[in-house]
């Protein structure tokens, strides 16, 4: 049985330990130590990483009551210095302790109970059992939580029996059998918890609520504590600095400058759309059929634009059968349309045109579209189309 140093002293970063057993399971090589400061994943807190001797520990899990330290290679039994990745662990303790504080303030001050807690590499969140939270409430919670940090409150742990625990008003019911580990933040919080925590609220530095979103019937609150909050501030500052340089305005005027840019872009897009249509209308008027047929290759132009041109051209003529072809990568795209007084079914014409090519056809009897793999000589399509419209007329 491993002595859980992380319970006796959450601030222990390394320990001299004996590898008392080794093995291999579906997760890989593992070692069992006589004493360990490596926290195994549990209660929403991720596992510690670190080294045993010079061998990397990539994961720590409790399997059948045994703490398995998964290592990158097999370890021989013997004594080692086992050290955790302290930066990672301290970050977990900051986020986890911050969650205790935030949950306490939400519940005691606003009657909002925490349903779940998620501590990930990038995001930390709690789900509260309320459909919504106002901006004013969030501001107050953040202020109160930060006041508790500034109040330098000791955080203590203690083991009690089930009987002793039943006489205490714990924030949530213990989820374990046997002895229960209590985590106490003076008068602010008393909770049953098996995770690792800071020893004083001051070590949290700061709590910042960053985002709120709906999560089914609950409300998810994303927050950052300590170094994560500082890193996030640095990221925002770097983004703001880049935007300030690009827009050449002070930070406070950035939203206005961005809104003006977007509005200007929308105006330009509208104008561009109008001008493009005018150009296409002129081009449609300039296209002259030979007899009733108008066949053109528009490869290199966007298919949507050619579709529009086909529609506009067909509208300009009473008697007309047009075939526009566009090569796009390994596909030939076809647009087949007829004038307003022309007979026949363009969808059927196009189906016959590409019959046997492995292509497909859609659209209506007035304007059909299709595609076929590049392979046949495009001139074959031209000749075939002319023959097909002869059959109609």
Give the footprint of Zn ion on this chain (CB under 5 A). Answer: 193, 195
- Smallest distance, Å, CB 196 to Zn ion? 8
In angstroms, the CA 195 to CA 10 distance is: 9
Minimum CB–partner distance for residue 97 and Zn ion (Å):
7
**Residue 100 C-beta: closest distance to Zn ion, Å:** 5
193 vs 294 by CB, closer to Zn ion = 193
Smallest separation (angstroms) from Zn ion to the CB of 244: 40
Cβ-based neighbours of 135, under 8 Å, separated by 6 or more: none
294 Cβ contact partners less than 8 Å away, ≥ 6 residues apart: 287, 288, 313, 320, 321, 322, 323
User: What is the rounded distance in angstroms from the CA atom of residue 60 to the CA atom of residue 51?
Assistant: 12
Between 98 and 195, name the residue whose CB sits nearer to Zn ion. 195
46 vs 195, beta carbon nearer Zn ion? 195
- Residue 283 has phi, psi (to 5 degrees) of -65, -40
CB 32 to Zn ion: min, Å: 25
The neighbouring-strand residues paired with 265 are: none
**Do 368 and 362 meet the contact criterion of CB atoms below 8 Å apart?**
yes
Between 185 and 325, CB nearer to Zn ion: 185
Q: How far is the CB of 147 from Zn ion (least distance, A)?
A: 20
CA distance 92 to 197: 8
Q: Cα separation of 15 and 162, whole Å?
A: 31
Give residue 245's region: left, alpha or beta (phi > 0; psi -120 to 50): alpha
In the complex, which residue's CB is closest to Zn ion? Answer: 193
Contact, 80 vs 22, CB < 8 A? no
Comparing CB distances to Zn ion, the nearer of 47 and 349 is 47
Residue 193 C-beta: closest distance to Zn ion, Å: 3
In the complex with Zn ion, the residue whose CB is nearer, 71 or 97, is: 97
- By C-beta, is 195 or 339 nearer to Zn ion? 195
Distance of closest approach, residue 105 Cβ to Zn ion, in angstroms: 15
Between 41 and 79, name the residue whose CB sits nearer to Zn ion.
41
Long-range contacts of 119-122 (CB under 8 A, 24+ apart): 119/44, 119/45, 119/46, 119/92, 119/95
Instruction: Tell me the three state secondary structure of residue 319.
Output: coil
Length reported for the chain:
393
């Amino acid at each position: 049985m491993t002595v859980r140093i992380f319970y006796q002293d959450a601030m222990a970063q390394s320990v001299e330990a004996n590898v008392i057993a080794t093995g291999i399971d579906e997760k890989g090589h593992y070692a069992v130590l006589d004493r360990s400061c490596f926290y195994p994943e549990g209660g929403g807190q991720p596992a510690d990483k670190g080294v045993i001797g010079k061998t990397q520990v990539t994961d720590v899990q409790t399997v059948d009551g045994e703490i398995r330290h998964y290592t990158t290679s097999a370890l021989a039994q013997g004594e080692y210095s086992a050290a955790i990745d302290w930066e990672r662990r301290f970050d977990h303790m900051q986020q986890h302790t911050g969650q205790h504080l935030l949950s306490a303030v939400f519940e005691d001050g606003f009657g909002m109970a925490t349903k779940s807690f998620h501590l990930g590499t990038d995001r930390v969140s709690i789900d509260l059992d309320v459909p919504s939270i106002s901006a004013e409430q969030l501001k107050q919670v953040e202020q109160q939580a930060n006041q508790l940090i500034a109040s330098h409150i000791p955080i203590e742990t203690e083991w009690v029996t089930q009987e002793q625990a039943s006489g205490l008003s714990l924030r949530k019911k213990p989820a374990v059998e046997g002895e229960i580990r209590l985590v106490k933040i003076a008068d602010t919080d008393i909770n049953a918890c098996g995770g690792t925590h800071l020893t004083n609220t001051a070590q949290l530095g700061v709590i910042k609520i960053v985002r709120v979103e709906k999560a089914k019937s609950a409300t998810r609150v994303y927050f950052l504590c300590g170094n994560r909050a500082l890193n996030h501030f640095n990221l925002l500052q770097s983004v703001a600095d880049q935007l300030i340089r690009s827009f050449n305005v002070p930070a406070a005027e950035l939203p206005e400058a961005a809104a003006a840019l977007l509005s200007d872009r929308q105006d330009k897009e509208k104008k561009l759309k109008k001008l493009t249509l005018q150009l296409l209308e002129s081009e449609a008027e300039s296209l002259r059929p030979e007899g009733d047929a108008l066949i053109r290759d528009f490869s290199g132009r966007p298919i949507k634009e050619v579709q529009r041109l086909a529609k506009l051209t067909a509208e300009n003529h009473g008697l007309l059968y047009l075939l526009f072809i566009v090569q796009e990568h390994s596909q030939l795209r076809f647009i087949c349309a007829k004038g307003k007084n022309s007979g026949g079914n363009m969808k059927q014409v196009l189906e016959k045109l590409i019959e046997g090519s492995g292509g497909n056809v859609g659209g209506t009897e007035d304007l059909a579209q299709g595609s076929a793999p590049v392979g046949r000589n495009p001139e074959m399509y031209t000749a075939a189309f002319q023959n097909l419209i002869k059959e109609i007329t």
